[in-house]
Amino acid sequence: MNHDAYPDNYIRGILNSVKSIAMVGASPVNVRPSYFAFKYLAQRGYDMIPVNPGHVGKDLLGKPFVASLRDIGRPVDMIDIFRNSSHIMPVVEEALALDPLPKVIWMQLGARDDAAAEKAEAAGIKVVMNRCPKIEYGRLSSEISWMGVNSRTLSSKRPPAPTQGMRLSLNRMSVGGGDTAASDRAAKNKTEQS
Amino acid sequence: MSDRLPGFSTLAVHAGAQPDPTTGARATPIYQTTSFVFNDADHAASLFGLQAFGNIYTRIGNPTNAVLEERVAALEGGTAALAVASGHAAQVVVLQQLLQPGDEFIAARKLYGGSINQFTHAFKSFGWNVVWADPDDIASFERAVTPRTKAIFIESIANPAGSITDIEAISTVARKAGVPLIVDNTLASPYLIRPIDHGADIVVHSLTKFLGGHGNSLGGIIVDAGTFDWSTGGKYPMLSEPRPEYHGIRLQETFGNFAFAIACRVLGLRDLGPALSPFNAFMILTGIETLPLRMQKHCDNAKAVAEFLAGHPAVASVSYAGLASDKYNQLARKYAPKGAGAVFTFSLKGGYDAGVSLVSKLQLFSHLANVGDTRSLVIHPASTTHSQLDDAAKIKSGAGPDVVRLSIGIEDKEDLIADLEQALGA
């Protein structure tokens, strides 16, 4: 997988197939990006599990915190890692010790560890890096268009009326209109700087 | 179908729009409402806290305006956009996110006269200091960079003479200085030039001109290219630092490559207030659907008119980058191969008096202060759009006393040439 630019169908396939998501680094502080994403994904119907050893004994939107992936005690489809790039590898190694293995390991916006990705992919796990599942869900369903964001999708079909908590349609034609030279350039700039 | 990249004309018709989920309406409805009902208290809190996507109040966002925003973002190849009340409002909102009092920005000397005024006078009272540079001398931009420089501002096709700016060369200066390049793409429209493809980080437009295209609705827009890293060195605290307006959210961290557009919306538009009317957004959207057709006709007509004027005995000179002899022709071939736009100037051998006489004798061209209308327009910049500048500054910006500016419409070119011929001849 080329981790600089994902085909929409790859992301769409992941968001359409996973049901449970363990979020490593989930924060109960309501201005943190992890809280935003946790709440949004829970409202879209995903079975969310907050993982953060600092908050065991508390819950996040009614879901009890667990200290680590192995404490979840049931299979999970996707691990969403809200940690800096330098803290990714130990989480991936922990995920690789799970039985059954998760289907997807997702690293949040700004987080990327190519060595960890390679290890996960060698075990047959799909990997996404430096993306936010909330933003991608909002983009592919065009819900994010309410914020003037370029969803890079087109549709002439009448969409379902959006109601709270329902799964919006992710099956729109992808067009890649905006994700062209500009985002490639941004990715390249970042790589050159680091 | 999923791997096909649709063309510009398809995006101009479809991007951002879809049938209305409730009624099935195919044209984008005009959501002429100030406010939007929340599902419940938690939904309201989520929207106010920026946790959920959705509508609150039309000063912050509106579903009709959102279609316009996504459409222009798609046409420009950006990550997101924000529509505002005018091109001038777009410039205020952009710079408010970038500059603190005492900061500087570098601007090309060749700009719309209204922008020169706004930068020189209005922004001075905010403590935003403009430093001018010459777009024909790239080194003048490098020399103007100081530790307080926060942005560089240029026009892709510059008002009034239609000169072409070397966007890539100036973007290299911006990158080296670690500041974003802002390009006003009003006179080109994304049909002719997509500045983001040439290194722009932010694109602004007066939608009033070619995008709306019919001279009936004011509007402005800001497009975020998603290319600039706002987090370095605390230079852009509106984007990188916890915002007290939103209980400590850091916008770049939360919104990634469209954080600048979000900052413009939730810190700029929300607090400064220059919201676009949804009715205007609807009119402009309708205009954009035919942008590719209109823009090509504008350019083809402009070239024919410029060629006619260049051969006329009463004309001293024509500044149109689409003419092979023009000093900007090489840049036009590189940046705007489909056409060099439809706004240009020419000067008359008879000087100021001949210019005044021409304007009064024209029958089809309208004498008014706008460009980018379906109708052909004429103005004498020295006595109108650029009248606040002193004589030296007028000449430097291409608006000397003998200069007449045309904005060529989409009428039949033979009729435009005949009108100019009778007005020049008698």
B12-49 pLDDT per residue, tens: 999 999 998 889 999 999 999 999 999 889 888 888 88
Q: Give B72 to chain A, closest Cα distance, Å.
A: 9
pLDDT of residue A185: 53
Q: Which class for A67: exposed (0-12), middle (13-18), buried (19 or more C-beta within 10 A)?
A: middle
Let me know how long chain B is. 426
Are B159 and B113 in contact by the 8 Å Cβ rule? The answer is: yes
Band (pLDDT 50/70/90 cuts) for residue B142 is very high
pLDDT of residue A128: 97
Window B:98-157, CB contacts with A under 8 Å: none
Q: Of the candidates B20, B53, B77, which has its C-beta nearest A144's C-beta?
A: B53
pLDDT of residue B39: 85
Q: For chain A, what is the total number of helices (H) and then of strands (E)?
A: 6, 9
pLDDT of residue A166: 46
Band (pLDDT 50/70/90 cuts) for residue B356 is confident
Q: What percent of chain A has pLDDT over 70?
A: 85
Window A:3-62, CB contacts with B under 8 Å: 7-9, 30-31, 33, 35-36, 39-40
Residues 6+ apart with CB under 8 A from B7: none
Q: Give A2 to chain B, closest Cα distance, Å.
A: 16
Average the pLDDT over B319-339 and give the result: 97
What is the sign of the dihedral through the CA atoms of B369, B375, B380 and B386?
A: positive
**C-alpha–C-alpha distance, residues A142 and A11, integer Å:** 14
Residues in chain B with CB shorter than 8 Å from the CB of A186 are 225-229, 257
Q: Of the candidates A9, A144, A182, which has its C-beta nearest B2's C-beta?
A: A9
Pick the residue from chain B with its C-alpha nearest to A171. Answer: B2
Is A148 in Cβ contact with B65 (below 8 Å)?
Answer: yes
pLDDT of residue B218: 98
Nearest CA among B30, B28, B9, B3 for reference residue B18:
B28
The three-point CA angle B58-B54-B17 to 5° equals 80
CATH architecture of the domain covering B291-425: Alpha-Beta Complex (3.90)
Residues β-bridged to residue B104: B129, B149
pLDDT of residue B224: 98
Band (pLDDT 50/70/90 cuts) for residue B1 is very low
Top-confidence residue, B384 or A180: B384
Q: Of the candidates B49, B77, B254, which has its C-beta nearest A182's C-beta?
A: B77
Q: Does B65 touch chain A (CB under 8 A)?
A: yes
Q: Tally the C-alpha atoms within 13 A of residue B385's C-alpha that lie toward its C-beta.
A: 26
Q: Which two tokens stand for residue B341?
A: 């736009």
Q: Does A183 touch chain B (CB under 8 A)?
A: yes
pLDDT of residue A194: 43
Q: Does A89 touch chain B (CB under 8 A)?
A: no
- Per-residue pLDDT of A43-68, as tens digits, reads 888 999 999 999 999 999 999 999 99
The three-point CA angle B171-B107-B383 to 5° equals 135
pLDDT reading at B354 higher than 50 = yes
Is A150 in Cβ contact with B80 (below 8 Å)?
Answer: yes
pLDDT of residue B5: 79
Strands (E), B59-190: 80-84, 104-108, 129-133, 149-155, 157-158, 163-164, 181-184
pLDDT reading at A189 higher than 50 = yes
pLDDT of residue A168: 58
| Helix residue ranges, H only, B311-382 | 329-335, 351-361
Is B3 in Cβ contact with A148 (below 8 Å)?
Answer: no
Is A182 in Cβ contact with B197 (below 8 Å)?
Answer: yes
SS3 (DSSP) at B361: helix
Let me know how long chain A is. 194
Residue A154, φ and ψ in degrees, nearest 5: -130, 150
pLDDT reading at A187 higher than 80 = no
Residues in chain A with CB shorter than 8 Å from the CB of B224 are none
**C-alpha–C-alpha distance, residues B340 and B163, integer Å:** 9
Is B18 in Cβ contact with A159 (below 8 Å)?
Answer: yes
B320-330 b/e (C-beta count within 10 Å ≥ 16 → b): bbbbeebebbe
Q: Count the neighbouring beta carbons within 10 Å of the beta carbon of residue B289.
A: 17
Q: What percent of chain B has pLDDT over 90?
A: 82
Q: Does B275 touch chain A (CB under 8 A)?
A: no
pLDDT reading at B426 higher than 80 = no
Q: Give B140 to chain A, closest Cα distance, Å.
A: 25
Is A158 in Cβ contact with B24 (below 8 Å)?
Answer: yes
Band (pLDDT 50/70/90 cuts) for residue B233 is confident
Helix or strand holding residue B423 (H, E): helix B413-425
Q: Does B193 touch chain A (CB under 8 A)?
A: no
pLDDT of residue A181: 45
Calculate helix-pair angle for B291-310, B278-289, nearest 10 degrees: 70
Q: Does A122 touch chain B (CB under 8 A)?
A: no
pLDDT of residue A188: 53
Least confidently predicted of B108-117, B203-212, B323-332: B108-117
pLDDT reading at A38 higher than 60 = yes
- Per-residue pLDDT of B67-76, as tens digits, reads 999 999 999 9
Residues in chain A with CB shorter than 8 Å from the CB of B18 are 142, 155-159
Pick the residue from chain A with its C-alpha nearest to B19. Answer: A158
**C-alpha–C-alpha distance, residues A170 and A139, integer Å:** 9
Chain-centre distance for alpha carbon A119: 18
pLDDT reading at A171 higher than 90 = no
Supply the CATH classification number for the domain B8-287.
3.40.640.10
Pick the residue from chain B with its C-alpha nearest to A169. Answer: B21
- Per-residue pLDDT of A103-121, as tens digits, reads 999 999 889 999 999 999 9
Nearest CA among B44, B83, B54 for reference residue B268:
B83
Are B95 and B151 in contact by the 8 Å Cβ rule? The answer is: yes
Nearest CA among B365, B374, B377 for reference residue B423:
B365
What is the sign of the dihedral through the CA atoms of A41, B60, B72 and B178?
A: negative
Nearest CA among A34, A9, A31, A12 for reference residue A22:
A34
Domain boundaries, chain B: 8-287, 291-425
Instruction: Report ipTM for this prediction.
Output: 0.88
**C-alpha–C-alpha distance, residues A146 and B65, integer Å:** 9
Q: Give A99 to chain B, closest Cα distance, Å.
A: 33
- DSSP letters of B7-69? -HHHHHHHTT----TTT--SSPP----SB---SSHHHHHHHHTT-S---SBTTT--HHHHHHH
Q: Does B253 touch chain A (CB under 8 A)?
A: yes
Q: Does A193 touch chain B (CB under 8 A)?
A: yes
Is A158 in Cβ contact with B21 (below 8 Å)?
Answer: yes
- Per-residue pLDDT of A59-101, as tens digits, reads 999 999 999 999 999 999 999 999 999 999 999 999 999 999 9
Nearest CA among A10, A38, A44, A40 for reference residue A24:
A38
Which of B1, B70, B229 best probes binding to A when mutated, by most A CB atoms within 10 angstroms? B70
DSSP B105: E
Q: Count the neighbouring beta carbons within 10 Å of the beta carbon of residue B257.
A: 26
pLDDT of residue A163: 59
Is A146 in Cβ contact with B2 (below 8 Å)?
Answer: no
pLDDT of residue B396: 78
Q: Which two tokens stand for residue B55?
A: 């509508």
Q: Give B317 to chain A, closest Cα distance, Å.
A: 39
- Per-residue pLDDT of B369-386, as tens digits, reads 899 999 999 998 887 877
Are B121 and B113 in contact by the 8 Å Cβ rule? The answer is: no
